[in-house]
């Protein structure tokens, strides 16, 4: 995909829009990334590089299962206490905003070295940097996804064909129930801090995948592009040779909701172009049989990654 960036450098973004057959959003995202002087480190748990939340809303009591490469995610909906003294049922988190909230929580936890994370204005400012304007209907969607994340229970399981290992826990141990109508920038009635569960924080700390926050800000409304960017960030730098992946395997991992392979291929290809536009050094070929991944540098400099780990 570096060819797109090279094309923009050679002829400019306006001519690239006219002469390239790539989607215009990918061209514009690549151009914006090329203007950056520095990038900010974000992280996510490696399990989310191989599995993911659903892209669309499910029923409030419906569970979500997602298969990855030797790993499986089971996401179960749950309940949170309400002001009337009862409990409110929440479905599983879904879509781009749920992914962004999760990346914020994980990035802050790794940055501070603590499972306790500040909310309120801190999260609003971060989401603003991601291009998410907090207010009105957007706030209600953020509030809903935050509550879904708080209520859900997740199980990651791994299998080598002979045995199965699993870890099962909530993501949030306390404090992310946002009441309707409350301004996210003025916490008031809800806790200004949340705490990740011990199991999730330990796994995150041991298996963090480095990301670029600026790259995420360019794909903030595309949940599949976010998944693909995270997947590439996890896989490419660990490869030692070219690795082909068939369309069937890609559909099994990323194609939930697509019954026909040709429909999935179109959606996947557009989303992949956008993910590659914000990950300049990613070496990926898209072809008739699927994709081929090539060994590539991580999406953000090793210096920043080393600082985060310390």
State the Cα–Cα distance between residues 80 and 225, nearest whole angstrom: 31
State the Cα–Cα distance between residues 302 and 176, nearest whole angstrom: 33
Output the tens digit of pLDDT for each of the chain's 310 residues.
568 899 999 999 999 999 888 899 999 999 999 998 888 999 999 999 989 999 999 999 999 998 877 788 999 999 988 878 899 999 999 999 999 999 999 999 999 999 998 776 777 788 888 888 777 778 788 888 988 999 999 999 887 777 777 778 889 887 755 555 555 455 444 446 789 999 899 999 999 999 999 999 999 999 999 999 999 999 999 999 999 999 999 998 998 777 788 889 999 999 999 999 999 999 999 999 999 999 999 998 654 444 444 4
Q: Note the pLDDT of residue 129.
A: 83
Q: Hey, where are the domains in the chain?
A: 2-35+222-300+303-307, 45-206
pTM of the model: 0.89
Phi, psi for 205 (deg, rounded to 5): -65, -35
Phi, psi for 58 (deg, rounded to 5): -105, 175
């Amino acid at each position: 995909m570096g060819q797109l960036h090279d094309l923009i450098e050679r002829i400019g973004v306006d001519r690239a829009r006219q002469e390239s057959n790539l989607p215009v959003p990918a061209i514009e995202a690549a151009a914006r990334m090329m203007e950056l002087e520095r990038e900010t480190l974000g992280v996510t748990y490696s399990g989310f590089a191989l599995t993911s939340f659903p892209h669309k809303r499910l029923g409030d009591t419906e569970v979500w299962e997602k298969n990855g490469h030797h790993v499986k995610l089971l996401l179960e909906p749950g309940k949170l206490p309400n002001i009337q003294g009862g409990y409110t049922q929440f479905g599983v988190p879904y879509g781009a905003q749920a992914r962004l909230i999760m990346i914020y929580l994980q990035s802050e936890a790794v940055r501070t070295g603590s499972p306790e994370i500040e909310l309120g204005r801190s999260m609003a400012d971060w989401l603003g940097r991601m291009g998410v304007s907090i207010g009105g209907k957007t706030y209600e969607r953020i509030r809903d996804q935050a509550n879904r994340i708080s209520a859900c229970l997740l199980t990651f399981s791994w299998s080598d064909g002979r045995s199965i290992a699993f870890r099962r826990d909530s993501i949030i141990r306390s404090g992310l129930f946002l009441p309707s109508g409350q301004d996210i920038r003025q916490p008031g009635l809800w806790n200004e801090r949340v705490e990740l569960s011990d199991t999730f924080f330990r796994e995150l700390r041991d298996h963090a995948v480095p990301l670029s926050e600026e790259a995420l800000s360019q794909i903030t409304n595309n949940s599949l592009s976010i998944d693909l960017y995270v997947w590439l960030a996890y896989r490419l730098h660990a490869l030692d040779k070219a690795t082909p992946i068939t369309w069937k395997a890609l559909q099994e991992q990323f194609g939930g909701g697509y019954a026909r392979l040709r429909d999935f291929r179109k959606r996947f290809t557009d989303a992949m172009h956008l993910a590659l536009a914000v990950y300049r050094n990613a070496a990926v070929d898209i072809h008739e049989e699927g994709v081929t991944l090539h060994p590539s540098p991580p999406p953000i400099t090793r210096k920043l990654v080393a600082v985060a780990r310390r």
